[in-house]
Amino acid sequence: MSNLSQTLASNSESPVEIPYDVLAKTPLYDLHCALGARMVPFAGYAMPVQYPTGIISEHIHTRQNVGLFDISHMGQAVIEGKDAARALETLVPGELTTLALGQMRYTQLLNDQGNIIDDLILTRLEPDPMREQPGGERFLVVVNAATKHMDFAFLAARKPELKLTILAERALLALQGPKAEAILAQLLPQVTSLPFMYLLEAKFGHIDLYISRSGYTGEDGFEISIPNSSAEGFAKELLSNKDVWPIGLGARDSLRLEAGLCLYGHDIDETTNPAEAGLSWSIPKRRRIEGGFPGEALILKMLKEGPERRRAGFMLDGKTPAREGAEIISPKGEKIGQITSGGFSPTLSKPIAMGYVEIQHAVPGSEVFIIVRGKPLKAKTTLMPFVPHKYKRGI
């Protein structure tokens, strides 16, 4: 289990004992309880951390079959207006103006210093036919649960000329794993022609859906935005297939750690920028040449000369995992960094971690020590992902 997985799983309180009256509930709350989920507070919501099969079984099942995740706690909104892409590019380092219809882009919302307020996905939607505004553009934005209210307030304040519509009445499901396409295609055959990081608007009966080929496990899969009123029925339809298991936050966290993906509030936050975080791949050539995003001078300097520290992956000797906050030291005993995520990899059967380390120690193969319970554990810096991504990039 990774650090977040263990934190969540260690909450032994039952759903009755946790003060759920002060927590929000997703449209699948009753279904989670009926399926025997252990519910815990997370980002202001009552969320399933695991089901009776356990985190490791859920993790392995997702890698081998299909997992269904409730991610309805995340924030969804539509932002639209004249030249919306150009306007949004003043807040993020990603390139939006070249996005094709339905194409998605991972990027980061930056503060004035160029540090990361949140990471998010923006998708170009068809312009609203009811609005005849020259140059009008629409984007679907999906942000993290813990920061969504702040993100939406930031977007509204910084870009008041754009209309922001929060999609509070929509749930979000993630169907992940090697059999995801075959199973979803039984209900929606058109998903077989959907490329990675593209979205289609579809109907299932009378239900309006946004379906994207994306996810946060490293596996092929889909994220499905659906009206709250239809979410439970659609989830039950998917779960009626024996190859689909419900998966909790614990396995979601260990899966994303194996995939080398950042978790906001742990691996990235307002003390880190995209260059330090190893996210330079998300800043394309045009944005590097033209700039125009917050903190561009510092970020572009780091991209050219290299940052003083960088997020790196670590493989540890033995079986003991390192957790968030563990110190990283050099062979000479000097502190050189800190772990931001760590745990035991069910796929590799060994402990893995990621964290920030002085740049000279971020070279793959560098030997370091990680302090766990007062003892230095030998580790080596390694490339990420720890487990290869299996995204279906070609159709």
DSSP string, 330-355: -TTS-EEEEEEEEEEETTTTEEEEEE
Q: Tell me the domains of the chain and their CATH numbers.
A: 3-69+169-258 (3.30.1360.120), 308-395 (2.40.30.110)
The overall average pLDDT reported for the chain is 94
- Say if residue 129's pLDDT is above 70: no
Kindly report, residue by residue over 288-326, the tens digit of the pLDDT.
999 999 999 999 999 999 999 999 999 999 999 999 999
**Tokens found for residue 225:** 């935005």
- Say if residue 12's pLDDT is above 50: no
Hey, CA dihedral for 45, 215, 356, 1, is it positive or negative?
A: positive
Q: How far is CA 224 from CA 171, 232, 238, 275, 311, in A?
A: 8, 12, 12, 31, 31
Which comes out higher in pLDDT, residue 308 or 21? 308
CB count within 10 Å of CB 297 equals 9
Residue among 177, 200, 181 at smallest CA distance from 247: 177
Residue among 54, 56, 24 at smallest CA distance from 42: 24
pTM for this model (two decimals): 0.94
Least confident of 10-24, 66-80, 214-228, 279-293: 10-24
Residue among 165, 202, 157 at smallest CA distance from 76: 165
User: Given pLDDT bands bounded at 50, 70 and 90, which one contains residue 336?
Assistant: very high
Q: Which residues, 6+ apart, have CB-to-CB distance to 378 below 8 Å?
A: 316, 317, 318, 367, 369
Residue 181 — φ and ψ, nearest 5°?
-60, -45
Q: 368 pairs with which residues across the strands?
A: 379
**Tokens found for residue 278:** 């190893």
- Can you tell me the distance from the alpha carbon of 81 to that of 61, in angstroms, rounded to the nearest whole number? 43
Which amino acid would we find at residue 154? F
Structural contact between residues 361 and 337, judged by C-beta atoms closer than 8 angstroms: yes
